[in-house]
């Protein structure tokens, strides 16, 4: 019997394939890789350099500091990455995602949408950036982790990989934990507690020890709404809250004003 097809295929174009491959062996991503829920390939653009020094960058036209990655080796690397996905039974034209501070801010909804695509090529840049002509020709989506600059796209690629893989059925031991995470329902997660019942003079909220699942669900929803209101009010601005959510948020605000 043939092995089932993976739920996700990812090829990463990177100057540091060892970094991507090593980091992907741990935790949920590593376990899911062993379970063949997803597959990973790394392609180094240096393999397609045309000189003895395997050069993949050059000085920018117009002058200025730093170096710019050459379009030629990167284009061939993208072709090789797509070919590996296609040879595995995937798309002949997988979506190409470039990790860059100039991209769209990565959010949970985008992660879910990319997971449904199933086949992705992640482009991890270095130096001052990539020749714009390559980006215009080959990149489908640019993503950013935030308003700051890293030395390259490898760590953002790993963050995206982790976010994607943990959404795959069977990747985690408890599927409910994925549904209840921050942003899964558009809210930040509620507080969590474990043993002992008292630590540093602070006790676990009594409702969590009550065994009353209805009250516990209500408390957790109220805390999630309240924490989102305090820390990320922007997430609530476009949310259509149910009557219960509106009541719980008002309760949280009243209780917070009394403390």
Q: Give the C-alpha separation, 216 to 162, whole Å.
A: 30
pLDDT of res. 185: 83
pLDDT of res. 176: 63
Please check whether residues 21 and 57 belong to one and the same domain. yes
| Residues spanned by the domain of 221 | 180-258
End residue of a domain, out of 132, 165, 198: 165
Instruction: Kindly give the confidence (pLDDT) of every residue in the chain, 259 residues in length, as a single tens digit, with 9 standing for 90 and above.
Output: 567 899 999 999 999 999 999 999 999 999 999 999 999 999 999 999 989 999 999 999 999 999 999 999 999 999 999 999 999 999 999 999 999 999 999 999 999 999 999 999 999 999 889 999 999 999 999 999 999 999 999 999 999 999 999 999 999 977 666 655 556 688 999 999 999 999 999 999 999 999 999 999 999 999 999 999 999 999 999 899 999 999 999 999 999 987 5
Note whether residue 175 is domain-resident: no
Note whether residue 173 is domain-resident: no
CA nearest 47: which of 18, 14, 93? 14
Please check whether residues 218 and 141 belong to one and the same domain. no
Note whether residue 78 is domain-resident: yes
The pTM score is 0.89
CA angle in degrees (0–180, nearest 5) for 239-240-246: 100
Note whether residue 17 is domain-resident: yes
Note whether residue 85 is domain-resident: yes
Looking at residue 217, which CATH number applies to its domain?
1.10.1270.20
Our count of domains for the chain comes to 2
CA nearest 55: which of 71, 40, 39, 43? 71
pLDDT of res. 73: 97
End residue of a domain, out of 165, 194, 211: 165
Beta carbons within 8 Å of 71's beta carbon, 6+ residues apart:
130, 131, 133, 134
Q: Give the C-alpha separation, 115 to 169, whole Å.
A: 11
pLDDT of res. 163: 97
Assess contact for 134 and 45: CB atoms under 8 A: no
Please check whether residues 65 and 185 belong to one and the same domain. no
Note whether residue 1 is domain-resident: no
Please check whether residues 128 and 198 belong to one and the same domain. no
Q: Give the C-alpha separation, 109 to 235, whole Å.
A: 13
């Amino acid at each position: 019997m043939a092995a089932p097809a993976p739920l996700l295929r990812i090829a990463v174009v990177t100057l540091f394939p060892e970094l991507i491959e090593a980091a992907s062996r741990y935790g949920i991503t590593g376990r899911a890789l062993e379970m063949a829920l997803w597959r990973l390939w790394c392609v180094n653009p240096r393999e397609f350099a045309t000189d003895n020094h395997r050069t993949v960058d050059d000085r920018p036209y117009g002058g200025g500091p730093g170096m710019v990655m050459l379009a030629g080796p990167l284009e061939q690397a993208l072709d090789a990455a797509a070919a590996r996905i296609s040879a595995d039974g995937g798309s002949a034209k997988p979506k190409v995602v470039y990790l860059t501070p100039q991209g769209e801010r990565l959010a949970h909804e985008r992660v879910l949408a990319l997971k449904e695509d199933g086949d992705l090529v992640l482009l991890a840049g270095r130096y001052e950036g990539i020749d714009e002509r390559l980006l215009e020709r080959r990149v489908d989506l640019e993503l950013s982790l935030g308003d700051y600059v890293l030395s390259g796209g490898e760590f953002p690629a790993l963050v995206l990989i982790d976010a994607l893989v943990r959404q795959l059925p069977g990747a985690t031991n408890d599927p409910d934990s994925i549904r209840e995470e921050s942003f899964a329902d558009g809210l930040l997660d509620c507080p969590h507690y474990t043993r002992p019942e008292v630590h540093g003079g602070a006790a676990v909220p009594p409702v969590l020890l009550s065994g009353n699942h209805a009250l516990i669900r209500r408390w957790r929803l109220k805390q999630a709404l309240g924490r989102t209101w305090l820390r990320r009010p922007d997430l609530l601005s476009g949310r259509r809250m149910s009557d219960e959510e509106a009541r719980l948020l008002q309760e949280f605000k009243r209780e917070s004003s009394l403390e």
